[in-house]
Amino acid sequence: MAVWALGLNHNTAPLDLRGRFAFALDQMAPALHGLRTSHQRQPEAAILSTCNRTEVYCASDNVQIDHTLGWLARAGDVPVDALHHHTYVLRDDQAARHAFRVASGLDSMVLGEAQILGQMKSAVRAAEDAGALGTTLNQLFQRSFAVAKQVRTSTDIGAHSISMAAAAVRLAGNLFEDLREIRVLFVGAGEMVELAATHFAARQPRAIAIANRTLERGEKLASRLGGEVMRLADLPERLHEFDAIVSCTASTLPIIGLGAVERALKKRRHRPIFMVDLAVPRDIEPEVKALDDVYLYTVDDLAQVVQTGHANRQAAVAQAEAIIDAGVQSFMHWIDQRSPASGVVPLIQQLNAQADAWRAAELAKARKRLAKGEDVEAVLDGLSRGLMQKMMHGALAELHGADPDHREQTTQAIERLFLRGKAPGTGG
């Protein structure tokens, strides 16, 4: 079984190109179906899509990287050759290493940021719900979550992390003398906006408003922050009221246009507006940045701010990489064990077949006894004893028949196989 990852991120592709490959969670099921059916053999598949990256993970006994690239190019309506220059392809241990580094926050624009782990878990749930997640990718991602947890608890990788939200507040503080005197508008009510709103609310601005397509969700966030809620349709008429605007929605087209901002500036008599567009694709038309009294930042513009503290964390990065190395070796060992050449899979199949045969034999005996009217408790006791004797017979025979030279080795093998602690389901 081979594993491969194909993707583009903030290091390989500009913002507007990344925006063409953004998949919302409600688009994952049809996207995964299209991805899998585009391949000659339907692979296991998962798609991770965030503001900084879109990555496709696949597993199959037949590597089909060209098919994966072709599907992604069609999904974003970009020529394959043009997309190829902005993507990276990783296979097997390198794909595993990349997934572990992403989950641990080592491949993020914000080194050590924790949000990506939740986004990966959401991507895995979406793949599982779509029936696209098989045994191999499930193992890859579950191990990536375990590695990320170990990195988080064993190192200081996230100790000085500056989030996008904190960076936005810092930039706003550079523009406005006192954040307590400004009015802040948040467009959207998702996780990124909630995080940004929480950071701004801590600075006690004069007013907070939430504009969202669904009023109910907007009201929930607004009530927690002591702000008001408004409809997205009211944005053009009320934009001039706000000194700072932070936007992050799932819209596929900009929702704040150049004309609306020009009219707002005129009403404000050209008092400056601070704007942060955290959405991919963009929520705010890029032409807005050229206006004299607008200070517009995108996720890529925040990169320099969030790099602060990198030098202080190099020792933590080295520790994290060591943890990831061990995780990669463990995953590849698991892959190797499942290979037919290893002999492990056939042996497992033989063991399962033998256990099934024992179970069927004891069930047949139990049914005959029940048909004769024997006591149910006695039949169940006989069933359990019969299974126990069949399971223990081989081990006991080996133990009794082992010569002195091999008895210790046999004893250790039996202890490993049968005395490893409480059995599953006993509360241990």
- Return the pLDDT at 267: 94
- Return the pLDDT at 192: 86
Do β-strands 2-9 and 88-91 pair in parallel, antiparallel, or remain unpaired?
antiparallel
Contact 15, 278 (CB under 8 A): no
Which of 51, 133, 148, 196 is catalytic? The answer is: 51
Token pair 């996008």: residue: 164
From residue 306, how far is each of 160, 323, 368 by CA, in Å? 10, 24, 72
Task: Answer with the residue of higher pLDDT: 243 or 1.
Answer: 243
Phi, psi angle pair for 60, to nearest 5°: -165, 165
Contact 276, 14 (CB under 8 A): no
Lowest mean pLDDT segment, chosen from 153-162, 205-214, 221-230, 262-271: 153-162
Contact 43, 11 (CB under 8 A): no
For residue 345, what pLDDT band results from cuts at 50, 70 and 90?
Answer: low
- Return the pLDDT at 157: 81
For residue 342, what pLDDT band results from cuts at 50, 70 and 90?
Answer: low
Query: Rounded mean pLDDT of the chain?
Result: 88
For residue 424, what pLDDT band results from cuts at 50, 70 and 90?
Answer: very low
Segment 340-363 shows an average pLDDT of: 75
Any catalytic annotation for residue 51? yes
Report pLDDT digits (tens) over 364-423. Answer: 888 989 888 899 999 899 899 988 888 888 888 877 777 777 777 878 877 877 786 554
- Return the pLDDT at 421: 58
Contact 137, 3 (CB under 8 A): yes
- Return the pLDDT at 337: 80
Statement: residue 161 has pLDDT above 60: yes
- Return the pLDDT at 46: 96
Report pLDDT digits (tens) over 273-330. Answer: 999 999 989 999 999 999 989 999 998 888 777 766 566 677 888 889 999 999 999 9
Segment 104-109 shows an average pLDDT of: 88
- Return the pLDDT at 340: 64
Report pLDDT digits (tens) over 123-140. Answer: 999 999 999 999 999 999
- Return the pLDDT at 426: 44
For residue 341, what pLDDT band results from cuts at 50, 70 and 90?
Answer: low
pTM (whole model) above 0.75: no
Segment 182-196 shows an average pLDDT of: 91
Q: What percent of the chain has pLDDT over 70?
A: 93
- Reduce the secondary structure of the chain to three states and give it as a string: CEEEEEEEECCCCCHHHHHCCCCCHHHHHHHHHHHHHCCCCCCEEEEEECCCEEEEEEEECCCCHHHHHHHHHHHHCCCHHHHHCCCEEEEHHHHHHHHHHHHCCCCCCCCCCCHHHHHHHHHHHHHHHCCCCCHHHHHHHHHHHHHHHHHHHHCCCCCCCCCHHHHHHHHHHHHCCCHHHCEEEEECCCHHHHHHHHHHHCCCCCEEEEEECCHHHHHHHHHHHCCEEEEHHHHHHHHHHCCEEEECCCCCCCCECHHHHHHHHHHCCCCCEEEEECCCCCCECHHHHHCCCEEEEECCCCHHHHCCCCHHHHHHHHHHHHHHHHHHHHHHHHHHHHCHHHCHHHHHHHHHHHHHHHHHHHHHHHHHHHHCCCCHHHHHHHHHHHHHHHHHHHHHHHHHHCCHHHHHHHHHHHHHHHCCCCCCCCCC
For residue 167, what pLDDT band results from cuts at 50, 70 and 90?
Answer: confident
Q: What six digits make up the tokens of 421?
A: 């602690």
